[in-house]
Amino acid sequence: MGAIRFASSTTFFSADTVPMARTRHSSVFPPDPNRERAVDLALNLAEELFGVGSSGATPAWVRDRIRRYLDVTAKKDGVSIIDVAGRLLENRSAVEDIVASLRVGETRFYRDPSQWQALEENLDKLFPSDMPLSVLSAGCSTGEEAYTIGMLLTAARRRFKVLGVDRSASAIAVAREATYSLDAAKDMPPTWSERFCDEQRGRLRIGMLVRNTVEFEVCDLVKRVPQGPFHLIFFKNVLLYLTEPAGEQAARRLANELAERGILIAAASEVLRLKSMGLVSHRMAHGVTALRRARRHGSSPRT
């Protein structure tokens, strides 16, 4: 399999930009079995080649979007939707087009600055300064979130390790490379890019000081979650990819891997949903809320 191309600030799916409107198919017309088979085939190929698509927990909007792609292409080329799906088997770039149509979001260094600032300010209150910290970036995409944590904790002079996991093997390969476009530095505090990054052949390379603290692993959170206890779990902009039950199961399992005073950090738009799953809010700053596991009577604390 050749290398997947990523845009400068790596573009993946995102909660911010997914249309919520239902398509004609999902609301009015009965499903056409041929069409659904074509969607299944496209999803399987997208998963096989790019690690996005079908994991047995594909939300409706992903299917809707692929269905639309197949319909539009069939109409444009004057062929049937089954023909379009059949062509995908021999045409990797057509599958890449589909995956690109799903990548409507992005990940970047220091995404949501107010969260990072709040974390920096609250860190020593949350965890004594001599406590070594274990951190998980769950759904880390191409690594920007995990390296941002690494930079923040290095700057805070903490002892720590970070594990980044994602279902996409291609994304994890990029994360391990630790090399990004120079543009990526514009989102970081300048002192961090100066201290923690180098320029190599016109690209931004994360320096050894931070790289040595971060590891990556391919892991489908629907199937399993990494074993804690973790003091910090970042679980941001991933729920969107999962059906409601799969998302709820992953969130609960992750929460169970939190250390006693550990917190889970989600996107602001996901906090309510996580609270409805039984997590409790922990206010870190004005407009910045993290989540904690609900205390259970008689449960032994994880440290």
Ligand X SMILES: C[S@@+](CC[C@H](N)C(=O)[O-])C[C@H]1O[C@@H](n2cnc3c(N)ncnc32)[C@H](O)[C@@H]1O
Binding site for ligand X (CB under 6 A): 12-14, 52, 55, 105, 107, 111, 139-141, 145, 166-168, 171, 220-222, 236-238, 241-242
DSSP 42-67: HHHHHHHHHS-S-SS---HHHHHHHH
Q: Which is nearer to ligand X, 220 or 248 (CB)?
A: 220
Query: What is the smallest separation between the CB atom of 248 and ligand X, expressed in angstroms?
Result: 13
Among residues 40 and 220, whose Cβ is nearest to ligand X?
A: 220
Per the rule left: phi > 0, alpha: psi between -120 and 50, beta: everything else, 110 is left
**Cβ-based neighbours of 40, under 8 Å, separated by 6 or more:** 54
Give the ranges where the chain is alpha helix by DSSP (H).
24-27, 33-50, 60-77, 81-90, 92-102, 113-126, 144-155, 169-177, 190-196, 208-211, 244-256, 271-276
Nearer CB in complex with ligand X: 111/231: 111
Nearer to ligand X, 66 or 84 (CB): 66
Separation in Å, CA 207 to CA 20, 178, 243: 40, 9, 37
- Assess contact for 51 and 45: CB atoms under 8 A: no
Q: How far is the CB of 23 from ligand X (least distance, A)?
A: 21
How far apart are CB 174 and ligand X at their closest, in Å? 10
Minimum Å distance from CB 131 to ligand X?
24
Q: What angle do CA 199, 236, 264 make, to 5 degrees?
A: 110
Tokens 């609270």, residue? 275
CB of 277 to ligand X, least distance (A): 16
CB of 90 to ligand X, least distance (A): 25
Minimum CB distance to ligand X, residue 128 (Å)? 27
Q: Which residues of 111-147 are buried (b: 16+ CB within 10 A; e: fewer)?
A: bbeebbbbbeebbeebbeeebebbbbbbbbbbbbbbb
**Amino acid at residue number 146:** A
Q: Nearer Cβ to ligand X, position 73 or 168?
A: 168
Q: Report the nearest approach of ligand X to the CB of residue 261 (Å).
A: 22
Nearest Cα residue to 6 out of 162, 198, 203: 203
Would you say 12 or 61 has its CB closer to ligand X? 12
Residue with smaller CB distance to ligand X, 84 or 140? 140
CB nearer to ligand X: pick between 87 and 252: 252
Q: What is the largest CA-CA distance in the chain?
A: 66
The token pair at 125 is: 């209150």
